[in-house]
Chain A
């Protein structure tokens, strides 16, 4: 089982280090961690996916809340949530196989974002399963390199992790 936590943190030097250090020190097993800006200045947002077989999500949440620079934490696992991951996949492709890869990409609503004589780069966005599915189809053709952003999550509807939509993080 996986749990997804959304943490709002102060956008200050060293905050990511504090969070990472906490996970290391407590031996928390983290599947993925992403961090980026929010619509508010000085507030960053982390999406943390926890493998619950190895780590109790309530302990991750409670320990995160003890960090002074953490503004709030929500476990969104049981809420209706949009989860997205973005991958760039560079695959071996010559003139003969390019069209077939383009077709596959089409089915996954992925895009070809670069073409070279011996390779193409595919950009795909979606939930984890969808990207895993495309990767498995491309793997036999020879993946040259791949990068994934890790998951970001947002709960559907008007609620906001930043507070009741007033966006002051309080």
Chain B
């Protein structure tokens, strides 16, 4: 058999894993692999920073459901991936990150650009490997892809020494993964029957649906379960899209900036069914007073999430689609008029406070921009939001109906995520209309990727909600720190000129009536376009449950004038 170098084996393996695009940045310790790259049919995207490469791979993974791939060099190249790996870890996003490493003979000697990257990334990867022999590369990459996408997905890092990349060996790609099999915890008939009884007997049930529903592909099952049992569905931030926002049983997002009526429903419920979600603190508020009258059923693939934050009366450990397939035939069809009428009443109160329904006296408010974006795109765009107020307004006012149509950093809350992630989204879904929604702060964190977008000739539309503040932190300072605006006022470059300097079209919008025309201009423009929306500077996101407060103790938008 022909002998290949370790570098060639890396690409052979990536091709076998179906990788079509890889995001990266070359450097000394990964040079042999970059040299071999030119002979393989994988498109390499040179991001302007390794953090951008990891976010792009993450965006690719979330938009496609496939594993995203990253390749960077040792030392600073590797440490720059840390934020992206942690982002993927917290949001269960499958990426495989290959890092070059100094030669094995100098490992541990503080050689040039040497860093203990497997040590550094141990708590922020699902698993990682240090490979020092060419013989181990194929097996390790195969395992890495398997681990990244199996069970609860997550990032896997493979650190490969330079000598392993240079050494020659036979290339044999494994056909199966040799890993220890876990005991399958099969659901018992009695557990499922008991769950069905609990659902049948409940008068005020609520389903809490999260990212796990999307990962499992359990959208149909969720809809069947909700409709058959007439159970309203509240969504986590990452669950947005798994249940259509316009569905009569959809309560929208719950939690800190969730719909007030969704939170009220959770607090009043006598049964909570968590599906593929983890009762995160942004979802529950104060655990002691969280949904105090309800029994809890938790459908979750990761056993370590069961009873981590919230007492669970009945855990159903398994893949969301599989569990629901078994559960749906056992539940009875229900009508729950009283409960649904009650929630509708609460929803009316929310509608009365909706900023979009009120005269904003000429002001350009961020919810206007998002509401108009939803209208102008017919709700069919993939929106990649950044972190902070822009993210919450997007989640509230862009009424997502399709899975994978909102891509955002939830668990880690990584500012600067949106722009690079959108590149990955565009590679995964080239036919889709992709919008970045970012604030002026987060956008500046990774704005260098504008040039990557240009180099790759990608068509991405960018909406910056520019309020001159690190808005969410400013909001907390307004509410909880007597308006002492420590380090939250932020200046920005002229974003239109910045875009222009990168060869990307840009326009500025300062008036409400110009929002939709600007969005249309961007949609019609063949290349990428940036819109600098100069929005009201001290607008806050409502409602808000202060951190650690009771979920029903929401700060609401005042009903009177805005």
Contacts and interface: CB of A to CB of B under 8 A. Distances in A.
Contacts of B179: 68
Contact of A59 (B118, B122, B183, B308): B308
Contact of B183 (A25, A70, A72): A72
A20 B127 CA distance: 15
B458 interface: no
Contacts of A63: 304
A56 B310 CA distance: 13
A14 B308 contact: no
A27 to B, nearest CB: 12
A62 interface: yes
A156 interface: no
Nearest to A169: B180
A16 B377 CA distance: 52
Contacts of B180: 10, 70-72, 169-170
B122 A65 contact: no
B123 A25 contact: yes
A3 interface: no
A71 B179 CA distance: 9
A18 B183 contact: no
Contact of B122 (A21, A62, A169, A170): A21
A50 B118 CA distance: 28
A14 B302 CA distance: 24
Interface string B299-317: 0001110111000000000
A16 B549 CA distance: 39
A78 interface: no
A166 interface: no
Contacts of B304: 59, 62-63, 65-66
Interface string B93-121: 00000000000000000000000001100
Interface in A1-51: 10, 14, 17-18, 21, 25
A58 interface: yes
Contacts of B308: 59
Given A58-B307, A62-B306, A68 B122 contact: no
A65 B182 contact: yes
Contacts of A62: 302-304, 306
B156 to A, nearest CB: 9
B181 interface: yes
A70 B180 CA distance: 8
A18 B119 CA distance: 9
Interface of B is mostly: loop
A62 B151 CA distance: 14
B307 A56 contact: yes
B535 interface: no
A65 B303 contact: yes
A14 B117 CA distance: 13
A62 B278 CA distance: 15
A1 to B, nearest CB: 17
B202 to A, nearest CB: 26
Contacts of B387: none
B149 to A, nearest CB: 14
A143 to B, nearest CB: 37
A117 B308 CA distance: 56
A68 B181 contact: no
A47 to B, nearest CB: 19
B147 interface: yes
Interface string A60-101: 001101111011100000000000000000000000000000
A68 B147 contact: yes
Contacts of B306: 58, 62
Interface in B381-413: none
A66 B305 CA distance: 11
A18 B124 CA distance: 12
A21 B307 contact: no
B118 A14 contact: yes
A81 B501 CA distance: 72
Nearest to B308: A59
Contacts of B182: 65
Contacts of A170: 180-181
A18 B125 CA distance: 11
A91 B418 CA distance: 66
Contacts of A71: 180
Interface in B117-149: 118-119, 122-123, 126-127, 147
B302 A66 contact: yes
Nearest to B182: A65
A20 to B, nearest CB: 10
A58 B305 CA distance: 10
Nearest to B124: A25
A21 B302 contact: no
18 contacts: A10-B180, A17-B119, A21-B122, A56-B307, A59-B304, A59-B307, A59-B308, A62-B302, A62-B303, A62-B304, A65-B182, A65-B304, A66-B302, A67-B127, A68-B179, A70-B180, A72-B180, A72-B183
Interface of A: 10, 14, 17-18, 21, 25, 56, 58-59, 62-63, 65-68, 70-72, 169-170
Given A10-B180, A59-B307, 12 more contacts: A21-B122, A25-B123, A56-B307, A58-B306, A62-B302, A62-B303, A65-B303, A65-B304, A66-B304, A67-B127, A72-B180, A72-B183
Closest 7 pairs between A and B when the two form their complex, measured CB to CB? A62-B304, A62-B303, A68-B127, A63-B304, A71-B180, A25-B123, A21-B122
